[in-house]
Amino acid sequence: MLNNKMLGSMLIVAGTTIGAGMLALPIASAGLGFSTSLILIIATWLLMTYTALLMLEVHQFANKEATLNTLAKQILGKKGQYIANFSMVFLFYALCAAYIAGGGAQLQEKLSAATGMNIAPQVGSVVLALIVATIVALGTSTVDKLNRVLFTIKIIVLASLFFVLTPYVHGQHLLNMPMEQGLILSAIPVIFTSFGFHGSIPSIVKYVGLDIKTLRRVMIAGASLPLVIYIFWQLLSQGVMDQEALAQSEGLPGFVTAISNIAHSSQVHTFVTVFADLALATSFLGVSLGLFDFFADAFKQQGSGRDRVKTALITFTPPLGFALFYPQGFIVALGYAAIALVVLAVFLPVAMVWQQRKNQNAGYQVQGGNLGLICAGLCGVLIISAQGLQMFGLIPALG
């Protein structure tokens, strides 16, 4: 039973990480060249895996049902709790609204094609939100089972895409160096957000239990699977197209059209479309599950059917409303997602572990000591600085 939950939890971590944003990676890193983007991807994986293990160090002395809200209050006090709550709610509401808006539009197109009726875009968003809310309200076990199916299909689609594109990879394209040094800084926040899964850690701890050895395997394996997939994806996308053509791609549609033309295959477009749908679904499930459990803890819900409905309404109604009436506002908010994620996934784990180690000597400790904590904190500062420099136009914008 535990091994079954361990596998499911690994896939929840991987599924939350490998979202639709993966498709933007080739465009965001186009000006870097393969070797430079590979270094950044591996460095980011190391950082995010390290801070995920820090979260386990924090969880070991708390109740297995504790979320970031409870942990921050216990260790950092009220101020830490307020910072944790704001970063969690801001980031996850923004992500959920973006998923509802984007996924709703995709669902609306499919419903219109299937029924032959001109269905309004808002209908797709409402239907998607209701479906995901129902699944999440049923519990982590239900999310786990559905995520396994979706993730398996996603891997099959990716493997098919790799099979189709591999013959068109040219080694010389992979030897390119950065077109402009500032692009390295610009790419850091994009690559960083591609490894964001920390909001779902409390849900996984609650699901698996406080077995640190098992949880450690879940975090390392769950984060390593996206790493391998991202490396292969970069190898294909940057190997199929030359650097200038990739950098000049007009967003994701232009990139998909370009590689479809190179491969002389309409299947590429189908594979990418299906992958985007599945990536959005698995990431949306992971993000909303973390937010659902966060609110259940914050509002002291007991887990009855009525309480779960209330929590689902709190979780999904605000992002649905913003996705329907102010979609552009949340698209802008997503530009600040890297900053909120740094607070959530780097600064808070580092601060809580630093404080906890002063008071607790026994138990599991992540290797690296205080030097590791300082290095992680400095990486967080670098990511926020890179995002700020890009927002103020001091380094090149990506896309």
Measured on CA atoms in the order 45, 272, 104, 204, is the torsion positive or negative? negative
- As a whole number of angstroms, the distance between CA 126 and CA 150 comes to 21
Name the burial class of residue 63, with classes exposed (0-12), middle (13-18) and buried (19+) by CB atoms within 10 angstroms of its CB: middle
CA distances in angstroms from 354 to 209, 365, 369, 376, listed in the order given:
24, 11, 9, 12
pLDDT score of 233: 87
- As a whole number of angstroms, the distance between CA 350 and CA 118 comes to 51
Residue 157 is encoded by which pair of tokens?
Answer: 């689609």
pLDDT score of 222: 94
- As a whole number of angstroms, the distance between CA 265 and CA 20 comes to 22
- As a whole number of angstroms, the distance between CA 54 and CA 48 comes to 10
Question: Which of 357, 56, 38, 328 has its CA nearest to residue 198?
Answer: 56
**63: helix, strand or coil:** coil
Q: Please, which residues have CB within 8 angstroms of residue 170's CB and are 6 or more apart in sequence? A: 239, 240, 242
Q: Classify 2-391 by CATH class.
A: mainly alpha
* Angle at which helices 212-240 and 251-263 cross, to 10°: 70
Q: What are the backbone angles phi and psi of residue 177, rounded to the nearest 5°?
A: -105, 170
- As a whole number of angstroms, the distance between CA 13 and CA 198 comes to 8
pLDDT score of 20: 61
Q: What is the DSSP string of 179-222?
A: SSTHHHHHHHHHHHHTT--GGGHHHHHHHH-S-HHHHHHHHHHH
Neighbours of 115 (CB within 10 A): 9
- As a whole number of angstroms, the distance between CA 327 and CA 348 comes to 29
End-to-end CA gap in the chain:
45
Q: Please, which residues have CB within 8 angstroms of residue 90's CB and are 6 or more apart in sequence? A: 333, 336, 340
Question: Which of 257, 259, 208 has its CA nearest to residue 237?
Answer: 259
Q: Give the domain ranges of the chain.
A: 2-391
Tens-digit pLDDT string for the chain (399 aa): 557 789 999 999 998 888 766 767 887 777 788 888 999 999 999 999 999 999 999 999 888 888 888 899 999 999 999 999 999 898 889 888 888 887 887 788 888 888 888 887 788 889 999 999 999 999 888 999 998 999 899 889 888 888 888 888 888 877 777 767 777 888 888 889 889 899 889 999 999 988 899 999 999 999 999 999 999 888 888 888 877 777 776 666 677 777 778 877 778 888 888 887 888 888 889 889 989 988 888 887 766 778 889 999 999 999 999 888 877 666 667 667 888 999 999 999 999 999 998 876 668 899 999 999 999 999 999 999 998 888 887 887 665
Neighbours of 98 (CB within 10 A): 25
Residue 92 is encoded by which pair of tokens?
Answer: 């996850």
